[in-house]
Amino acid sequence: MTKRVVVDPITRIEGHLRIEAQMDGDKIAQAFSSGTMVRGIELILKGRDPRDAWAFAQRICGVCTLVHGIASVRAVENALNYEIPPNAQIIRNLMIAAQYVHDHVMHFYHLHALDWVDVVSALNADPQATSELAQLVSPQWPKSSPGYFSDIKKKLKVFVEGGQLGIFAKGYWGHPAYKLPAEANLMAVAHYLEALEWQRDVVKIHTIFGGKNPHPNFLVGGVPSPIDLNSDSAINSKRLAQVQEVIDKMQVFVDQVYIPDTLAIAGFYKDWGGQGEGVGNFLCYGDLPEKGMSDPSSYMIPAGVILNRDLSTIHPVDMNNADEIQEQVAHSWYNYSDGNEKSLHPYDGETELNYEGRGGPKPPYDQLNIDDGYSWLKSPRWKGHAMEVGPLARVLMLYASGHEQTKELVNMTLKTLDVPVEALFSTLGRTAARTLETKVMVDAMQSWKDTLVANIKAGDTKTFNEKLWEPHSWPSETRGVGYMEAPRGGLAHWIVIKNGLIENYQAVVPSTWNAGPRDSQGIPGPYEAALAGHALHDPKQPIEILRTIHSFDPCISCAVHITDPQGEEIMQVKVR
């Protein structure tokens, strides 16, 4: 067996991901992506009340802390043809967009920026020159004095000289792939620390509308946040003013720090506009409706598929068509009852674990058995195509469909960096798309908040539709799909309800689409395809692998779940 370069675990992500790279000289010929924790949430949900499903499903992940709750309540509402009030839709949109802005900023600075920013190099920076650079990059941002950067440098020096890099430990500092001057590194480290402080306030939107963060509360049929301007325990004028304060703070940081930093850093890494493309196919479910999920024409993010990088044609997506979205387990540690070469639509999805029988190696092991199962992730496909989901897919969809703000932002970025439109299909393009999408989201939040206030002033305070709440009003058998665009990409939960209880439940999450293994035809998933062709300067410090994998913002916690070696339950989630 030819020895592969192994990175396990991939750090600065959620969950456990293993990448094995088969080398051809100094380049990756093939890569293999393995989620190394086992999934089980579908099994936990069988037999439960569908109205409670969101509270369990939301615990799939604590980072995208609300998205599974949203997908779950939408699945039940879709199954019951359950309409929600306009105010509830606006509040959900605000909460979803707040998750985007929070998640994207935190990903850039705390999970991905260190692939481009050499923290230790910042010790060589001149604070005066750093100040001049910062004021050039973002003239309006107040934290840019020489004294400020001198203090940041002193703080960083204490970490390094004490041998306790803490949050900056285990980096490949000094690697020749780092290209930023010392002053740019110091500026980025300062903004890294500022983003940590910034994010403490932006989560307040979730607590205002959902009671807490992480895992805010939701409700089938609406939202659990009543509106009463005269009540201290409801959404009132004070809380609406707090929402406005958070939106303002988000906009300032995105406009004055995040976007300028992305463009400044990307300018030193324009060669990455030609690496890390992936499969060249992009999928969006669509989200952020103006008139409810039943009216896709009102979605801010349109649904559709782009194939082979062809932005001139958008193919429609049917979430209920058994011939469109399917999952395979040809290289996963699961069994399908009618054979592991089958493809199953999620309504008919199965979750039968079979690690040992599908070639799972006994830990510790050197390499995966790639001829059989090698991941706890399944392989989703759209009409047989491997698809990339996430910010790049959404920005391409908005761009291709003529969304004016997105077109302006993309064209500005391409012009600023002096790169062709083809650079969008890359590691650099994926990272830039996340930043541009954040700008679109934070601006949309202001419009939704204004509409909510206008509705309240007009006397509309309804946030819950009680008509279909009681199970006696439901059909004996029904099924539905709840979908949304989570920060990391298209997320959908499919539910089958029988006699008021969950008969089957399947969640196909963004990182399953992106990180899944090869299918029965040997077609690689987006992670695997994106790594092919990468040259590694030093296989013992494979920063090139981290750059491309991190550009997807992996969340393997969403794609897999934990059990012990005997298959016993590790924890219980109780809902009161």
Phi and psi for 33 in degrees, rounded to 5? -110, 130
Please give the tally of structural domains in the chain. 1
Q: Is residue 61 part of a domain?
A: yes
Q: pTM of the entire structure?
A: 0.94
**What's the gap between Cα 199 and its chain centre?**
17
d(CA 121, CA 171): 12
Is there a domain that residue 187 lies in?
no
User: Residue 130 falls within a domain, yes or no?
Assistant: no
Domain assignment present for residue 102? The answer is yes
Tell me, yes or no, whether 322 lies in a domain. yes
Active site residues: 14, 61, 64, 68, 488, 511, 555, 558
Question: Which pLDDT belongs to residue 1?
Answer: 52
> Is 119 within a domain?
no
pLDDT at 43: 85
pLDDT score for 64? 76
Given this model, what pLDDT does residue 14 score? 81
Residue type at position 129: A
Residue 70, token pair as written in the block: 């949203």
d(CA 105, CA 113): 10
pLDDT at 575: 36
Which pLDDT score, from 0 to 100, does residue 441 have? 98
Domain extent for 522: 5-114+199-559
CATH number for the domain harbouring residue 323: 1.10.645.10
How many Å apart are CA 309 and CA 379, to the nearest integer?
21
Give domain status of residue 160, yes or no.
no
Instruction: Measure the CA angle with vertex 118, ends 112 and 122; round to 5°.
Output: 130
Nearest to 517 by CA among 20, 14, 34: 34
> Which residues, given as ranges, of the chain have pLDDT below 70?
1, 39, 163-167, 559-576
Report if residue 151 sits inside a domain.
no
Cα→Cα distances 395→245, 291, 510, Å: 27, 22, 16
